[in-house]
Copies of this chain bind each other. A is one copy, B any other.
Amino acid sequence: MQGIARAHTNIALIKYWGKRDKELFLPMNSSLSLTLDAFYTDTKVIFAANLSQDEFYLNGAPNDALPISRFLNLFRQDMPTFYHARVDSYNFVPTAAGLASSASAFAALAGAANIASQLNLDPTTLSTYARRGSGSATRSLFGGFVEWSKGTSSATSCAHYLDDASWNIGMIIIVVNTTKKTISSRSGMEHTVQTSPFYSAWVESATNDLEHMKHAIANKDFQKLGELTEYNGMKMHGTMLGSNPPFCYFEPESIVAQQQVRQLREKGIPAYITMDAGPNVKILCRASDMEQIKQHLLTVFDEKNIIATLPGKAMRELTEIEWQQSCHNFKEHNLWQ
């Protein structure tokens, strides 16, 4: 009873910001993301009768198995026999990039557990399981542009595929160094929901933004897509400045990056920013402009802090050979540590 899967991380263009149910990870508003090719998690799950407890190895080293155990229980409650599991996971996500590897991690774990458990859930149902590990993992079951509908229950708060984003779309991540621990997205969103007078307007207008963005994607209207991305992302950060006490994820370099993107637009290169619960700046751009944008950014940022990526594909099963190759790649060439 074994399963291996790869899932990519994603960046929300319409942000998930605020839960209506903390236990079930039910969001206040629907969101929309772009899955990214460059960052992914490979995970193998083995359910076996001879294991006396759950074991979890992250990047080859033993790690806390408790969140994994809780997550696997979602599958085990529907399995005829209870088995403990051994989980091996390799994160091809730069730790320092603040890219929330929990999205790809729980999507890959859901994918591998689905195979190992022989439950054979469809991807949409599986996305409701991934959601229980981490909200943004919901969207990592699919490739390209993905919508996470907030739904009306745990069973209906699921992701679905919108578009493969194969129309000259790219993303550049500027990694902004920060010495201090930032506020977790979990506590940031809780504080915002509880104290920001802007929160209800956020939910209402994000819902509106999502509809407009779906139209922009259907029409392959890149400018509209970019404008909505920047509008929605900055608006989320506005809700935080409105919290009491206020908080802000911007670092000095985040502002520098924002200014660089405005300069790019003034030069006629369409590029739009988005930011999550951290100081990094993500640039939505044309894939064909990525090299030129990178050159522009190199005047201000180090090459190692500029990461370009194309859209990524859906969660998929890996063969044992691919898995061995992946383990080998991680150990031999791991650039991310």
Contacts of A202 in B (CB 8 A): 197-198, 242
A191 at the interface (CB under 8 A from B): no
Would A245 and B231 count as touching, CB distance under 8 A?
A: yes
User: What separation, in Å, do the CA atoms of A72 and B280 have in the docked complex?
Assistant: 52
**Chain B min CB distance to A300 (Å):** 11
Check A201/B197 contact, CB under 8 A, given A234-B242, A235-B242, A238-B241: yes
User: What separation, in Å, do the CA atoms of A248 and B261 have in the docked complex?
Assistant: 14
Would B231 and A235 count as touching, CB distance under 8 A?
A: no
- How many copies of the polypeptide does the oligomer hold? 2
A298 at the interface (CB under 8 A from B): no
A251 at the interface (CB under 8 A from B): yes
User: What separation, in Å, do the CA atoms of A12 and B214 have in the docked complex?
Assistant: 42
Check A242/B198 contact, CB under 8 A, given A251-B255, A252-B252, A252-B256: yes
A246 at the interface (CB under 8 A from B): yes
The listed residue (B227, B234, B253) touching A248 by CB distance below 8 A is B234
Contacts of A227 in B (CB 8 A): 245
A204 at the interface (CB under 8 A from B): yes
Would A241 and B235 count as touching, CB distance under 8 A?
A: yes
A313 at the interface (CB under 8 A from B): no
Contacts of A73 in B (CB 8 A): none
**Chain B min CB distance to A43 (Å):** 37
The listed residue (B196, B230, B246, B252) touching A255 by CB distance below 8 A is B252
Return the 4 tightest CB-CB contacts between A and B, nearest first: A238-B241, A234-B246, A252-B252, A238-B242
Given contacts A237-B241, A238-B240, 18 further A-B contacts (CB under 8 A): A197-B204, A197-B205, A198-B198, A198-B202, A198-B242, A231-B246, A234-B246, A237-B238, A238-B238, A238-B239, A238-B246, A241-B241, A248-B258, A250-B250, A251-B255, A252-B252, A252-B256, A254-B255
